C-alpha cells in the first residue's frame, strides 16, 4: 500500500469521524425533543481487489422500532380521546350534584314533595302555597342549568371539531411536504433521517387528534389512513378536510339538524374519524351529550305531564303549555324541553292554584281519575289536589291500581336513535336518581379508564424512549470513542507526513 493510499484512508477516517460527531451533537441537542428518534450513522469498509481502502460514510438512519412506534401513536389517540371526554363529563358531573346532598334532581324533586306534604297539613296557608311554588321554581331552574351545561359542552365540542379539522389538515400538508423531501433525498442517496423525525412529529400531532395508521412506501412516501381505512391525502389540496361552525342548540343534531358534516372531497367522512380529540368531540357532540339531554328531556316531560294529568299544570314550556308526547320519534314534541321548562306563569301569579288545581280531569281507566278544581270562593281547606300530587303525581300509580305511563328509554332524541342506559323506573324520584346515577357513573368510568390508559401510555413511551430515544450515556461514550478514533487517524496522517518529509530529505 502506498503512502498516498494511507494518507487518503486516514483522511477518509477523519471525515467519517467528523460526520459521526455531528450526529452525536445533533442527537444530544434533541435529547429533549418529544418523539425524537436517535439518528445513527452508517459506514462500510472499502476495498479494492481485497486490499482495504478505508471507510465510506453512508446516510444517517433512524434508530426506531416501527411496531412500538405505532403502538405509542395508537395509545396517544386513546389517551387524548379519553382526556377530552373526561373534561366534558366532569363539567356535567359538577352540575349533576350528589344524590341526597340537596342539589341533585332527586333532592330538588324531594324538596318539592316535602313542601306539598307540608301544605297538606294546612292547605289554607298562603305562605306554604308560595313555598311550594318556590320549590317548583328551584327544581325547574336546576333542570334548566343542567340542560344548559349539556348545550355548552356540545358547543365546546363543536368549536373544537372545527379547530381540530384545521390541525389535521395542517399536519397532513406537512407530512406531504416532508414526504416529498424524503423521496428526493432517498433518490439522491442522502440521509432522510432528519426529515423522517420531522414527519414522525407531524404524525404524532395527527395521533393526538385522530386514530391513524401509516404505511411507508419503498420510495419513502407515506400513506395515512383512519382507523377504519379511509385514506387521508397528503399530496392533495391544502385543506383536504372541511367543515363549518354551528350554533348548537338542544335540538341540534347531525346529520341534517343544523350541524354540518366533515367532508373529504365532497364525501361525508364524519363517521370515519374516530379516536383522539377529534373523534372524542364528535362522539360527545353527536351521541353522549344528546343522550344526556334526551334523558333530561324525558324526565322533564314526565314531570310536567304527571302533574298535569292530576289537574295541576305546574310545569310548562315558555308558552305556558305542557308539551305533548306520542310523536314520532317519541320525543319529537319535547326535544329540548328541559332547557325551557318553567313554573306555569298562571301558578306563579296565583300560588293558591297549587291547592285548588288548574285543570278539570275527565278521568280514564288507564290514567288518572276524574278531578274538578276547587272553584273561586271554594273551601280554603280543599286538599284533594294536594293529595293527588303526593299520592299519584309523585308516585308509581296514576290512580290506585293503575300504573303511570312508562318513561321512554329508547328511540330518544331528535333522530330517535338514542337510548338511556337504564330500565325505566316507575316514579319521578327514581327516574331522577337513575339519570344522575347513570351520568355520574359515565364520568367516573371515563376517569378510571383514563388512569389505566395513561399508565399503558407511560409504559409504551418509556419502552420507545429506551429503544430509540437519545441515551446521553451512550452518546457520551460514542463521543469519547470518536475522539480517540479522530486522534488515531490524525496520528496516521502525521506519520505519513513525517515519512514523506524523510523521503524528500533522502532524495535531496
For the chain, the first-to-last Cα distance in angstroms comes to: 24
Dist. CA 91–CA 105, nearest whole Å: 16
The pLDDT of residue 4 is 63
Count of CB atoms within 10 A of residue 186's CB?
A: 17
Sign of CA dihedral 268, 271, 272, 274: positive
DSSP conformation class of 277: H
Q: Do 154 and 256 belong together in one domain? A: yes
Q: Which of 20-34, 294-308, 361-375, 398-412 has the lowest mean pLDDT?
A: 20-34
Residue 300 lies in a domain: yes
Sign of CA dihedral 463, 466, 468, 470: positive
Per-residue pLDDT for 1 more than 60? no
The pLDDT of residue 57 is 60
The pLDDT of residue 504 is 77
Q: Do 266 and 405 belong together in one domain? A: yes
Residue 465 lies in a domain: no
Segment 81-134, tens digit of pLDDT? 999 999 999 999 999 988 878 889 999 999 999 999 999 999 999 999 999 999
Cβ distance 96 to 434 under 8 Å?
Answer: no
Mean pLDDT (the chain, rounded): 91
Segment 448-459, tens digit of pLDDT? 999 999 999 999
Q: Do 197 and 340 belong together in one domain? A: yes
Dist. CA 292–CA 412, nearest whole Å: 10
Cβ distance 276 to 77 under 8 Å?
Answer: yes
Cβ distance 314 to 342 under 8 Å?
Answer: no
Dist. CA 162–CA 239, nearest whole Å: 12
Q: Mean of the pLDDT values across residues 394-406?
A: 97
Dist. CA 175–CA 155, nearest whole Å: 30
Provide the residue count of the chain: 508
Sign of CA dihedral 435, 437, 443, 449: negative
Dist. CA 229–CA 224, nearest whole Å: 9
Per-residue pLDDT for 159 more than 80? yes
Segment 199-242, tens digit of pLDDT? 999 999 999 999 999 999 999 999 999 999 999 999 988 899 99
With b for 16 or more beta-carbon neighbours within 10 A and e for fewer, the 130-167 pattern comes to ebbbbbbebbbebbbebbebbbbbbbbbbebbbebbeb
Cβ distance 161 to 243 under 8 Å?
Answer: yes
Residue 276 has φ and ψ, to the nearest 5°, of: 65, -170
Cβ distance 36 to 28 under 8 Å?
Answer: no
Give the model's confidence band at 34: pLDDT under 50 very low, under 70 low, under 90 confident, else very high: confident
Dist. CA 147–CA 141, nearest whole Å: 10
DSSP conformation class of 382: -
Q: Do 335 and 318 belong together in one domain? A: yes
Q: Do 250 and 226 belong together in one domain? A: yes
Residue 404 lies in a domain: yes
The pLDDT of residue 20 is 66
Residue 461 lies in a domain: no
Q: Mean of the pLDDT values across residues 1-10?
A: 65
Q: Do 255 and 324 belong together in one domain? A: yes
Total domains in the chain come to 2
Q: Mean of the pLDDT values across residues 480-498?
A: 71
Q: Do 156 and 50 belong together in one domain? A: no
Give the model's confidence band at 404: pLDDT under 50 very low, under 70 low, under 90 confident, else very high: very high
Residue 463 lies in a domain: no
H or E element, residue 39: strand 39-48
Q: Do 254 and 133 belong together in one domain? A: yes
Residue owning grid cell 336546576: 142
The pLDDT of residue 326 is 87
Dist. CA 16–CA 257, nearest whole Å: 65
Stronger pLDDT, 267 or 476, i.e. the higher one: 267
Segment 286-329, tens digit of pLDDT? 999 999 999 999 999 999 999 999 999 999 999 999 999 889 99
Per-residue pLDDT for 58 more than 80? no
Cβ distance 329 to 303 under 8 Å?
Answer: no
CA torsion 283→288→289→294, rounded to 10°?
140
Q: Angle at CA 332, nearest 5°, toward 326 and 334?
A: 90
Residue 391 lies in a domain: yes
Domain that residue 41 falls in: 3-63+472-507
Q: Which three cell numbers stand for residue 387?
A: 293529595
Q: Which of 4-8, 72-76, 372-376 has the lowest mean pLDDT?
A: 4-8
Percent of the chain with pLDDT strictly greater than 70: 85
Q: Do 222 and 268 belong together in one domain? A: yes
Query: pTM of this prediction?
Result: 0.87
The pLDDT of residue 54 is 62
The pLDDT of residue 305 is 98
Q: Do 149 and 10 belong together in one domain? A: no
The pLDDT of residue 65 is 82
Residue 481 lies in a domain: yes
Q: Do 248 and 173 belong together in one domain? A: yes
Dist. CA 470–CA 23, nearest whole Å: 11
Per-residue pLDDT for 28 more than 90? no
Residue 233 lies in a domain: yes
Q: Which three cell numbers stand for residue 183?
A: 423521496
Stronger pLDDT, 12 or 29, i.e. the higher one: 29
Give the model's confidence band at 506: pLDDT under 50 very low, under 70 low, under 90 confident, else very high: confident
Query: Which residues are within 8 A (CB) of 433 and not within 5 positions of it... i.e. 6 or more apart?
Result: 99, 105, 106, 425
Dist. CA 411–CA 199, nearest whole Å: 45
Cβ distance 403 to 424 under 8 Å?
Answer: no
Q: Which of 412, 430, 455 is the last residue of a domain?
A: 455
Q: Do 403 and 443 belong together in one domain? A: yes
Amino acid at each position: 500500500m502506498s503512502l498516498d493510499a494511507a494518507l487518503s484512508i486516514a483522511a477518509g477516517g477523519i471525515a467519517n469521524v467528523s460526520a459521526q460527531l455531528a450526529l452525536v451533537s445533533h442527537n444530544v441537542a434533541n435529547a429533549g425533543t418529544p418523539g425524537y428518534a436517535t439518528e445513527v450513522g452508517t459506514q462500510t469498509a472499502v476495498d479494492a481487489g481485497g486490499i482495504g481502502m478505508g471507510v465510506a460514510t453512508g446516510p444517517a438512519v433512524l434508530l426506531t422500532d416501527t411496531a412500538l412506534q405505532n403502538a405509542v401513536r395508537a395509545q396517544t389517540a386513546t389517551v387524548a380521546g379519553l382526556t377530552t371526554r373526561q373534561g366534558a363529563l366532569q363539567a356535567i358531573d359538577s352540575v349533576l350534584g350528589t344524590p341526597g346532598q340537596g342539589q341533585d334532581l332527586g333532592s330538588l324533586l324531594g324538596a318539592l314533595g316535602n313542601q306539598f306534604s307540608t301544605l297538606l297539613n294546612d292547605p289554607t296557608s298562603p305562605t306554604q302555597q308560595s313555598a311550594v311554588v318556590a320549590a317548583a321554581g328551584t327544581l325547574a331552574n336546576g333542570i334548566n342549568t343542567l340542560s344548559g351545561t349539556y348545550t355548552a359542552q356540545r358547543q365546546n365540542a363543536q368549536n373544537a371539531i372545527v379547530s381540530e379539522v384545521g390541525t389535521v389538515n395542517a399536519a397532513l400538508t406537512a407530512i406531504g411536504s416532508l414526504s416529498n423531501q424524503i423521496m428526493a433525498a432517498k433518490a439522491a442517496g442522502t440521509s432522510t433521517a432528519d426529515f423522517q423525525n420531522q414527519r414522525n412529529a407531524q404524525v404524532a400531532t395527527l395521533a393526538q387528534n385522530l386514530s391513524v395508521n401509516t404505511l411507508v412506501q419503498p420510495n419513502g412516501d407515506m400513506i395515512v389512513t383512519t382507523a377504519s381505512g379511509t385514506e387521508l391525502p397528503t399530496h392533495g389540496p391544502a385543506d383536504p378536510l372541511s367543515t363549518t361552525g354551528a350554533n348548537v342548540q338542544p335540538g341540534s343534531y347531525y346529520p341534517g339538524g343544523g350541524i354540518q358534516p366533515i367532508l373529504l372531497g365532497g364525501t361525508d367522512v364524519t363517521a370515519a374519524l374516530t379516536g383522539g380529540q377529534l373523534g372524542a368531540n364528535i362522539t360527545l357532540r353527536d351521541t353522549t351529550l344528546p343522550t344526556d339531554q334526551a334523558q333530561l328531556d324525558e324526565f322533564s316531560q314526565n314531570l310536567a305531564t304527571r302533574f298535569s294529568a292530576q289537574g295541576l299544570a305546574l310545569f310548562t314550556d315558555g308558552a305556558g303549555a305542557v308539551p305533548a308526547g306520542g310523536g314520532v320519534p317519541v320525543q319529537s314534541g319535547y326535544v329540548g324541553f328541559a332547557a325551557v321548562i318553567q313554573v306555569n306563569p298562571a301558578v306563579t301569579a296565583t300560588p293558591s292554584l297549587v291547592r285548588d288545581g288548574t285543570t278539570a280531569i275527565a278521568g280514564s281507566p288507564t290514567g288518572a281519575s276524574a278531578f274538578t278544581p276547587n272553584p273561586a270562593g271554594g273551601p280554603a281547606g280543599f286538599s284533594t289536589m294536594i293529595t293527588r300530587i303526593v299520592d299519584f303525581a309523585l308516585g308509581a300509580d296514576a290512580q290506585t291500581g293503575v300504573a303511570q305511563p312508562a318513561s321512554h328509554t329508547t328511540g330518544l332524541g331528535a333522530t330517535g336513535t338514542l337510548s338511556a342506559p337504564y330500565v325505566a323506573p316507575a316514579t319521578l324520584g327514581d327516574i331522577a336518581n337513575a339519570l344522575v346515577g347513570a351520568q355520574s357513573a359515565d364520568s367516573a368510568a371515563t376517569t378510571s379508564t383514563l388512569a389505566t390508559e395513561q399508565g399503558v401510555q407511560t409504559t409504551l413511551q418509556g419502552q420507545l424512549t429506551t429503544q430509540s430515544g437519545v441515551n446521553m450515556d451512550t452518546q457520551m461514550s460514542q463521543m469519547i470513542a470518536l475522539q480517540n478514533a479522530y486522534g488515531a487517524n490524525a496520528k496516521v496522517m502525521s506519520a505519513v507526513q513525517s515519512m514523506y518529509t524523510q523521503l524528500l530529505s533522502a532524495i535531496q
